[in-house]
Amino acid sequence: MSDIPGGPMESRPVHFIWILDCSYSMLGEKIGTLNYAIREAIPEMQSVAHDNASAQLLVRVLTFSSTARWHQAQPVPIDDFTWQDIQVDGGTNLGAALSLVARELETPPMPQRALKPVLALVSDGQPLDEWRAGLKAIDATPWGKKAVRVAIAIGADADRSVLQEFLGNPELPVLDANSPKQLAAAIRWASTAAVKAASQPVAGGAAGTKQLGPAFAPPKLQDDDDDVW
Amino acid sequence: MSVPPHWEILHESVRGPGKAHNQDWYDVDDTVDGTLVLAVADGHGSAAHARSGLGARYAVDVFLHRGREFAARARDSGDLRQLHRDACGRVPREIVRDWRDRVERHVRKEPLDGVPKGGELLAYGTTLLGAVLVPGLLVAWQLGDGDLMLVEADGRIRAPLAPAEPELGDETESLCGRQAWDLMRVHWAPVSDPARLPRLLTLSTDGLSKSFAAQDGFVQFVREVDERLAAEGAEPIREALPGWLNHAGSYSGDDTTAVAVWRRPDDAGPSEGGPEAVPSEDGPQDQDRGTESD
């Protein structure tokens, strides 16, 4: 319909940012499963995006270890997104990663016309830097305040209190992934449910009103007694 | 005897793609004396707001009732100061109270399963955008998202109820929120010179404005509609409107509703009547965009 007044129309973007722990403690099966799980989740993310034509799903990937760096810096449409394996390297500088994310959540570079971004944090350890400063920077951005956040704790050594603080909502639980099977399920859930939640209207939110409960809830992951981290 | 302005009224509402029901509602009351009362409401629509289509309908019904009352007071009284107090304080409270009464009556008739007591309003959550136009006065109210646009007599385009900071994402204020009357924004515009009445007033749900790729796409939309109305008249626009809204819905995924009232270029509006105009006023002005609480 070319004669519509006002010019072209298009669906709004959902910016999905993976924030992935690549510290040495992820070495071995954990990083292998994470790479596998995200690669396997891409078709499901594509399927969610196709089912929701009113949203353009754009993906970025940030890794953190001794430093934080963009593994996929430019937002890529999910249909064009391919997974390049990530490698382990050094410590757990979560604060550096969150600070980098905060810069991307400013407007600009984020457009005002968008759906809520999704921040998906995956970690198996305890931060070694001033992570609260990074979290505060995210919370200070307009889009950071509104972001749909999911957190996946890999194994028993993950600092769940940090991840809970990242979520910023006591009603939203950290998703525990204590085995390869659970991690794959958690990644699958985070890849899809969070995108759906980001594109749902929510009453409340603004001008002093409280958000009325979590828009989505993580699944109960099946135990996997044979292979536990 | 004054001659009431002739308003062409255009309206349409379309269901979002893949949605079972249209959860928007609208209505227009156009009386022979030149009074217009119009409203649109956008039920929130997600699973947590399962009865929001009904909530939107109640919101529009309630607005039309209270809007007619306000219009009658405006026509009968020249006391602009009192009308302004009513617009900012009394009317928002009446609308919210009436809407809640309607919802509570419906819940008693058809209880909601599994919803804790006190949480029922959420199921009916909706926005509300409405306007009353009487000779000499335009007043509009807004709670939540949506767009009220004015094309003034001189062609300027304004969005007098737009929030100071653009709202990000899809969160919105709602009639189901706590003390919702305090969140209602009010546009108050006495019009002393009938020739300066807005020539076009549009109310639309957010599905329309959020569909444009360009930041100023929606303003451009209003500008072009105004130009086409002047060039072609109302009928071609009336015919095209459903297609435009469906097109917008395919990008927003949302139900989409628009109501527009247009004054023909040769219609100068009423020459007298209505509330006594402020002598220094030479056109519509925002006198108060906030609300009063008492």
Q: Identify the CATH number of the domain in which residue B120 sits.
A: 3.60.40.10
Mean pLDDT lowest for which of A68-82, A148-162, A194-208, B176-190? A194-208
Contact A115 B169 (CB under 8 A): yes
Going by pLDDT thresholds of 50, 70 and 90, the confidence category of residue A171 is: confident
Q: What is the pLDDT of residues A43-65, one digit of tens each?
A: 999 998 888 878 999 999 999 99
Asked whether residue B285 is assigned to any structural domain, the reply reads no
**Residues in chain A, total:** 229
Instruction: Please determine, for residue A212, whether its predicted confidence score (pLDDT) is greater than 50.
Output: no
pLDDT recorded at residue A204: 53
Smallest Cβ–Cβ distance between B251 and the set A7, A54, A204 belongs to A54
CA distance linking residue B55 with residue B99, whole number of Å? 8
Provide the Cα torsion A129, A132, A138, A140; round to 10°: -140
Cβ–Cβ gap B168/A146 under 8 Å: yes
CB contact (8 A) between residue B171 and residue A199: no
Which among B122, B167, B211 has CB closest to A206? Answer: B167
Separation of first and last alpha carbons in chain A: 55
Which residues of A sit within 8 Å Cβ distance of B?
1, 3-12, 52-55, 112-116, 142-143, 146, 199-207, 209, 211-213, 215
Provide the pLDDT for residue B14.
97
SS3 state at A81: coil
d(CA A156, CA B74): 69
pLDDT-derived band at A76 (thresholds 50, 70, 90) equals: very high
Chain B residues in contact with A7 by the CB 8 A cut-off are 212-214, 217, 220-221
Q: Which helix (H) or strand (E) holds B201?
A: strand B200-204
Q: Are strands B128-134 and B137-143 parallel, antiparallel or unpaired?
A: antiparallel
Distance CA B67, CA B138 (A): 11
Taking the whole predicted model, whether its pTM rises above 0.90 is answered as no
B239 interface with A at CB cutoff 8 Å: no
Which one of B183, B251, B252 makes the best mutation probe of the A interface by having the most chain A beta carbons within 10 Å?
B251
Nearest by CB to B171, from A12, A52, A202: name it.
A202
Domain total for chain B? 1
Distance from the B193 Cα atom to the nearest Cα atom in chain A, whole angstroms: 31
Lowest mean pLDDT among A62-76, A179-193, B203-217: A179-193
**pLDDT attached to residue B251:** 93
Go through chain B and tell me how many residues it has: 294
Write out B66-106 in H/E/C secondary structure. HHHHHHHHHHHCCCHHHHHHHHHHHHHHHHHHHHHHHHHHH
Write the secondary structure of B139-191 as one string of H (helix), E (strand) and C (coil). Answer: EEEEECCCEEEEECCCCCEECCCCCCCCCCCCEECCCCCCCHHHHCEEEEEEC
C-alpha count within 13 angstroms, C-beta hemisphere, residue B203 = 30
Decide if B280 touches A, using CB distance below 8 A: no
Give domain status of residue B290, yes or no: no
For residue B224, give the H/E element and its range. helix B217-232
Q: How far is A73 from chain B (nearest CA, A)?
A: 23
Is the pLDDT assigned to residue A68 strictly greater than 90? Answer: yes
* Cα–Cα distance measured from residue B232 to residue B85, given in angstroms and rounded to the nearest whole number: 41
Of B173, B240, B247, the CB nearest to A209: B173
Rounded alpha-carbon distances, angstroms, from residue A47 to A192, A203, A225, B10, B251: 9, 27, 31, 38, 17
State residue A199's pLDDT score.
73
Residues of chain A positioned with their CB less than 8 A from the CB of B220? 5-7
Report the alpha-carbon distance of residue A176 to residue A194 in Å, rounded. 16
Provide the pLDDT for residue A203: 57
> Over chain B (294 residues), what is each successive 10-residue block's mean pLDDT?
74 92 96 90 89 97 97 91 97 98 96 84 96 95 97 96 85 92 96 90 96 94 97 96 96 95 74 45 37 33
Q: Which of A33-37, A165-169, B83-87, B168-172 has the lowest mean pLDDT?
A: B168-172
Query: Is A5's CB within 8 Å of B178's CB?
Result: no
Cα B113 from Cα B93, distance rounded (Å): 29
Please tell me which residue, A180 or B56, carries the higher pLDDT value: B56
- The dihedrals phi and psi of B7, each to the nearest 5 degrees, come to -100, 130
Q: Examine residue B279 and state whether it is found in any structural domain, yes or no.
A: no
B209 has a chain A CB within 8 A of its CB: no
What's the whole-number average pLDDT of chain A? 88
Closest CA to B96 of B129, B135, B50, B63: B63
Is B104 part of any domain?
yes
Domains and CATH numbers, chain A: 16-198 (3.40.50.410)
How far is residue B140's CA from residue B130's CA, in Å, rounded to a whole number? 6
Query: CB-based contact (8 Å) between B128 and chain A?
Result: no
Per-residue confidence at A80, pLDDT binned at 50, 70, 90? very high
- Domain span at residue B204 reads 7-263
Q: Which of A5, A143, A201 sits opposite B220 (nearest CB)?
A: A5
Minimal C-alpha gap between B220 and chain A (Å):
5
Top residue of B211, B237, B244 to mutate, by most chain A CBs within 10 Å, is: B211
Q: How far is B151 from chain A (nearest CA, A)?
A: 15
pLDDT digits (tens, 9 = 90+) for A110-139: 999 999 999 999 999 999 999 999 999 999
Q: How far apart are CA A190 and CA B169, in angstroms?
A: 19
CB contacts, 8 Å: B46 with chain A: 200-202, 215
pLDDT at position B283 is 35
Single out the residue of B107, B99, B41, B40 nearest to residue B66, CA to CA: B99
Residues of B in contact with A8 (CB under 8 A): 212-214, 217
Contact assessment for residue B206 and residue B169, using Cβ atoms and an 8 Å cutoff? no
Check the CA dihedral A41-A43-A48-A49 and report its sign.
positive
